[in-house]
Amino acid sequence: MKIVVNRPRCEGHGLCEEAAPRLMHLDDDGELVLDREEIGDADAPLAKAAVRVCPVAALRIV
Per-residue CA distances from 40 to 11, 36, 37, 45, 61 (Å) = 26, 10, 10, 10, 12
pLDDT at 37 over 80: no
At 36 the pLDDT is 84
15 in Cβ contact with 55 (< 8 Å)? yes
pLDDT at 56 over 90: yes
- Cα 3 to the center of its chain, rounded Å: 7
38 in Cβ contact with 1 (< 8 Å)? yes
Q: How confident is the model at residue 34 (pLDDT cuts 50, 70, 90)?
A: very high
- Fold assignment, 3-61: Alpha-Beta Plaits (3.30.70)
- pTM of this structure: 0.91
Instruction: Kindly state the average pLDDT of the residues 28-41.
Output: 92
